[in-house]
Amino acid sequence: MQPIARQTKANAAALGYSGERALNMFLRPGDGVSQGMMIGRSGAVAHATLLAGAVGRASVDVNGVLYVCAGGALYSVTTAGVATKISGKIADDRKTFMATDGTQVAIVANQKYWVYDGATLSEYATGAISNPSAVAFQDGYFIVTGAIGDRDDAFTVSNIDDATTFNALDFAYAENAPDAIVNVVSDHGQLWLFGTKTVEVFWNSGNVDFPFERNSGALIEEGCLDGKTVAQSDNSVFWVRPDRAVLRSAGGVAQVISTREIQEALTAETVKFGLAFTDKGHKFYAVTTDKSSYCYDITTGVWHERTYGTDAGREWWVVSSSTIAGTEYLLTDTGLVVTTDPDTYTDNGATIVGEATTAPIEQGGNPFSVSRVIVQARSGATSTTTTPQIALATTRDGRTWTNWRQRDLGNIGIYYRQAVWVGLGSFRRFQCKVRITDPVPHDIYGINYA
C-alpha cells in the first residue's frame, strides 16, 4: 500500500495540478502498511467554561494558574478546572497580548495597558508611549510597544520588577526601517521587535540610561503581516510575512516554510492569528484564517488543515495554548478552555470530520480503468450505535466529484477491516478522497489501486 496523502496543497485543485489534502489528519512516516499513514488529530475535552460565546483572545501561565482574556474579562483557571472571573472591564480586541513575570500579569488590549497584581486589575499609563500595541517580559522589565507622537516604532520599559511604573524618558525606537512595531517577544534572552518591514533584535546591555541596545548583526529584513501571527516553538520564532509567506527563524535568519499553495491560500483568505501547539508527539505552528487553520508540522515539515467539529468550512476554534505541568491547555473562540485527548474524536461533543484527498494519477494522457480501490484504516477501537462508515468519492477533473459511496469501517472488536470499492470506471486523470464522519479513529494506513 501507499500513503493516501502527505499534506494539504490548499488551492492547487483550483489550479488543476494537484488538490492533495489532509483535513484534520496529519502525516506520520513509518515502515508498516505503507511508508506513511495519516493519523487523525486529537479531540478536545472541556476543562473550564469562561462565558458561553465569549471570544478567547490570549492566555498566559502564571505559576501553574492559567490567566485568560476572553469576552472583555480577565479569568483565572486552575488545573482542576475552576474558572474565576477577576474583572469584566477590559475592552479586549483581536490584538490582545499578555505577559507575566510570575507574579504580575500585564495586558495590552484595545490600545490600553492593564496590570493584575494578584489582587486588583487596573489600567496604567506607559510613560512616553501612547496607544500601546504589544507587551513582553524579559530580565525584570515589562516591555511595551506603541506610538510616541506620530511615530509607531517606539518601545518603553517598566521599572525593574514593577509592571505598573514607567519613566517617561525610558524609551527607544526600532528605527532601522520606517515601519510600525506590531509585536514584541523575548526569545533566547533577546527582544524581537516585529515591524511591518523588518525584525530588529535588541539585547540587555545593562546600560544605566536604557537597558536594551540593538544587536546590529541580527537584523532580519523580513517584516510581519500581523503581530498576532507570531508564535514560538522548537527553539524558533514563527510569523507571517506581509506577502503571506510563513517564516521560521533559524540562526538569526528567516526561512520560508510555506509552500506556494499555502501562501496563495493565505492571500485569498483573511489571516487572523498564529499559534504553536503539540498533538500526538508532533509540534505544530498554525495560521488561522476566516476559512481554515493551516498547520505546519515542525516534526515532518509538511502542512495539513484543521477545522472545527463537523463544520469543514469553519476554522479551528483554538486561539492560544499554554502548557502547565506537561498538560497543554487550549483557549477557544467560544469561551472554553480545553485539553486534547488522542482517544476523543469530537470537539467537546461535535464530531470531527476527517478527510484525505490523494494526488491525481495519470498515465501519459492515455485512458485507463480503475477496477478497485482498497483503503485500510484503523478500526475496532470505538463502539457507536451504528457501524461507523468510511466514504469515497472520485473525480476525473479535480473539480467535479461523484457522490459519496459508503463502506463499513468496522465496529468495536473488529480490528482489521479493508474498505473496498469496485468498478469505478475509465479515466485519463483519476483522483479520490475518503472521509470519516463518525466519532471513531480517523487513522488511514494506506491505499491501493487496481
Mapped to the 3 state alphabet, what secondary structure does 353-383 carry? Answer: CEEEECCCEECCCCCEEEEEEEEEECCCCCC
Q: How far apart are CA 440 and CA 415, in angstroms?
A: 12
Give CA–CA dist 90/121, Å, rounded.
9
Cβ neighbors of 235 (< 8 A, separation 6 or more) are 188
| Cβ neighbours for 190, distance < 8 A, ≥ 6 positions apart | 201, 202, 203, 215, 218
User: How far is the CA of 61 from the CAs of 109, 238, 298, 306, 321, in angstroms?
Assistant: 18, 20, 23, 25, 10
Most confident of 177-181, 294-298, 413-417: 294-298
pLDDT band at 64 (very low <50, low <70, confident <90, very high): very high
CB neighbours of residue 93 within 10 Å:
14
Rg of the chain, C-alpha, whole Å: 24
pLDDT given for residue 387 in this prediction: 84
What is the spatial distance between Cα 220 and Cα 253, in angstroms, rounded to a whole number? 6
Start and end residues for every CATH 2.60.120.260 domain found in the chain: 12-40+354-449
Lowest mean pLDDT across 26-40, 168-182, 209-223: 26-40
Reported as a pLDDT band with limits 50, 70 and 90, residue 418 is confident
Q: pLDDT tens digits for 294-346?
A: 999 999 999 999 999 877 779 999 999 999 999 999 999 999 999 999 999 99
- What per-residue confidence (pLDDT) applies to 14? 56
How confident is the model over 390-398, as a mean pLDDT? Answer: 93
Cell readout for 445 is 494506513
pLDDT band, very low/low/confident/very high, at 12 (cuts 50, 70, 90): low
Say if CB 396 and CB 432 are below 8 A apart. Answer: no
Given a contact cutoff of 8 angstroms between Cβ atoms, the answer to whether 282 and 342 are in contact is no
Q: Where are the beta strands (DSSP E) in 129-243?
A: 130-138, 141-148, 151-159, 162-173, 181-187, 190-195, 199-204, 212-214, 231-233, 236-240
- E strands, 241-388, where? 246-250, 253-256, 271-279, 282-289, 293-297, 303-308, 311-315, 318-324, 327-332, 336-341, 346-347, 350-351, 354-357, 361-362, 368-377
Would you place residue 410 in the very low, low, confident or very high pLDDT band (cuts 50, 70, 90)?
confident
Highest mean pLDDT among 76-80, 357-361, 438-442: 76-80
Q: What is the pLDDT of residues 42-55, one digit of tens each?
A: 999 999 999 888 89
pLDDT in the model for residue 51: 85
Asked if pLDDT for residue 103 goes beyond 90, the answer is: yes
188 in Cβ contact with 203 (< 8 Å):
no
In the structure grid, which three cell numbers stand for residue 6, read together?
502527505
| Across 5-9, 36-40, 44-48, 348-352, least confident range | 5-9
93 three-class SS: coil
What confidence tier does 386 reach under pLDDT thresholds 50, 70, 90? confident
The DSSP code for 65 is: E
Residue 108 CA to residue 234 CA, distance in Å, equals: 26
Gap between the terminal Cα atoms of the chain: 11
Residue 89's pLDDT band, with cuts at 50, 70 and 90, is confident
What amino acid is encoded at 443 in this protein? D
The set of residues, in sequence order, having a beta carbon less than 8 Å from that of 357 and lying 6+ positions away, is 5, 13, 19, 20, 21, 22, 431, 432, 433
Element (H, E) at 15: helix 12-15
Residue 351 half-sphere exposure, CB side, CA atoms within 13 Å? 13
Q: Are 24 and 355 in contact (CB under 8 A)?
A: yes
pLDDT averaged over the chain?
A: 92
- Tally Cβ neighbours within 10 Å of residue 88: 12
Instruction: Assign domain 43-349 to its CATH superfamily.
Output: YVTN repeat-like/Quinoprotein amine dehydrogenase (2.130.10.10)
The closest alpha carbon to 46, from 321, 347, 284, belongs to 347
Choose which CATH entry (3.40.50.300, 2.60.120.260, 2.70.98.40, 1.10.3720.10) describes domain 12-40+354-449.
Answer: 2.60.120.260
Tell me the sheet residues that pair with 155.
145, 172
User: How far is 85 from 259, CA to CA, in rounded Å?
Assistant: 42
Local confidence band at 208 (pLDDT 50, 70, 90 cut-offs)? confident
Residues shown for the chain: 450
Of 9-13, 16-20, 100-104, 408-412, give the range with the top mean pLDDT.
Answer: 100-104
pLDDT of res. 413: 67
In the sheet that holds 121-123, the strands lie side by side as 97-100, 105-109, 112-116, 121-123
Which residues make Cβ contacts (< 8 Å) with residue 285, sequence separation at least 6? 231, 233, 238, 246, 248, 274, 275, 276, 295, 296, 298
> CATH 2.130.10.10 in the chain, residues?
43-349
